[in-house]
């Protein structure tokens, strides 16, 4: 699933490790989520949303949004 | 942020390759009758020593990839401890078996003893899955154990049929655990698709 994690991190000047520390997960997990290789569980998605102060749908893109972004 | 390309110093693949090559050599020598009981057991137990640098170097590689957790460190420590006990018990059993009369009740004890550290290694895996709160690392471990299971099922079923038709010699069933562990290692080492560090 596509997401805006890289942009959101860049806006805050956080490395993947910085975000991993905030989430209490490994850096590899952040990398897997960010690159769309792994879709997080709901609790982890809510944790991400809380950290960025956004709603889940502001971080993860729905299928229609992904298609629109690709076009 | 700048990304630095760091050359990994950990080479778990080298140790894993050496470990598997030795296992394969012992296996071939054993089924061709070039070495006889208890020599294969002794050689296999000695080969287990390689698990120490293998696990240590795999841990270092995991640290470098940012893929290590407290639960993973505990798992590595427990796995190494049980591997060491397994090696000692296997060696002890192989030496003691020669001194016991065939069918003696003590032989039952010798046969059961190596099972205990093997169960300990499975317990270490179960504990890891219970203790790991990083869901992605947990998923990777489950996927890796499925690779191990797949390897055992494919090899076991394949060899079973070959043996049924007298095409290959009979082998002892305890090979399943090392085969599963090798599959687990392969599963953990499989590269992830894509992904950049920043």
Total structural domains within chain A:
1
pLDDT, one tens digit per residue, over B145-194 is 999 999 999 999 999 999 999 999 888 888 888 888 888 888 888 776 54
> What distance in Å separates residue B1's CA from the closest CA in chain A?
7
Facing residue for B137 by CB, picked from A17, A29, A37: A29
- pTM confidence score: 0.77
pLDDT, one tens digit per residue, over B20-29 is 888 888 888 8
Mutation pick from A6, A10, A23, A32 vs chain B, by most beta carbons of B within 10 Å, is: A32
Chain B residue numbers touching A31 (CB-CB < 8 A): 66, 195-197
Q: How far apart are CA B8 and CA B191, in angstroms?
A: 15
Mutation pick from B73, B188, B190, B198 vs chain A, by most beta carbons of A within 10 Å, is: B198
DSSP string, B80-118: HHHHHHHHHHHHHHHHHHTTSPTT-HHHHHHHHTTHHHH
Judged by DSSP in three states, A3 sits in strand
ipTM here: 0.88
> What distance in Å separates residue A68's CA from the closest CA in chain B?
23
pLDDT, one tens digit per residue, over B22-69 is 888 888 888 888 888 778 878 888 888 888 888 788 878 877 777 778
Residue pairs spanning A and B at CB distance below 8 A? 57
Q: Which domain holds residue A65?
A: 5-70
Give the N- to C-terminal CA distance of chain B in Å, as an integer: 7
Give the N- to C-terminal CA distance of chain A in Å, as an integer: 17
> CATH number, domain at A57?
1.10.260.40
Any CB–CB contact under 8 A between B189 and chain A?
A: no
Interface contact flag, B66 A17, Cβ < 8 Å: yes
Q: How far apart are CA B122 and CA B173, in angstroms?
A: 17
Banded model confidence at residue B17, pLDDT cuts 50, 70, 90: confident
């Amino acid at each position: 699933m596509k997401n805006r994690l890289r942009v959101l991190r860049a806006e805050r000047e956080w490395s993947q490790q910085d975000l991993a520390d905030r989430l209490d997960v490994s850096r590899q997990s952040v990398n897997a989520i960010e690159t769309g290789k792994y879709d997080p569980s709901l609790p982890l998605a809510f944790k991400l949303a809380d950290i960025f102060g956004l709603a889940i749908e502001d971080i993860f893109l729905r299928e229609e949004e992904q298609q629109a972004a690709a076009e | 942020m700048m990304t630095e390309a760091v050359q990994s110093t950990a080479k778990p693949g080298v140790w894993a390759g050496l470990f598997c090559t030795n296992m394969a050599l012992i296996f071939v020598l054993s089924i061709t009758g070039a070495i006889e009981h208890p020599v294969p057991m002794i050689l296999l137990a000695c080969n287990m020593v390689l698990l120490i640098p293998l696990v240590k170097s795999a841990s270092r590689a995991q640290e470098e990839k940012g893929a290590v957790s407290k639960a993973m460190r505990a798992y590595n420590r427990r796995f190494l401890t049980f591997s060491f006990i397994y090696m000692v018990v296997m060696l002890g059993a192989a030496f003691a078996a020669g001194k016991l009369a065939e069918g003696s009740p003590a032989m039952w004890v010798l046969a059961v003893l190596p099972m205990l550290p093997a169960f300990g290694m499975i317990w270490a895996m179960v504990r890891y899955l219970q203790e790991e709160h990083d869901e992605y690392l947990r998923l990777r471990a489950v996927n890796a154990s499925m690779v191990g299971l797949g390897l055992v099922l494919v090899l076991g079923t394949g060899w079973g049929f070959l043996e049924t038709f007298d095409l290959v010699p009979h082998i002892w069933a305890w090979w399943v655990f090392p085969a599963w562990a090798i599959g687990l290692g392969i599963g953990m080492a499989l590269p992830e698709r894509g992904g950049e560090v920043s």
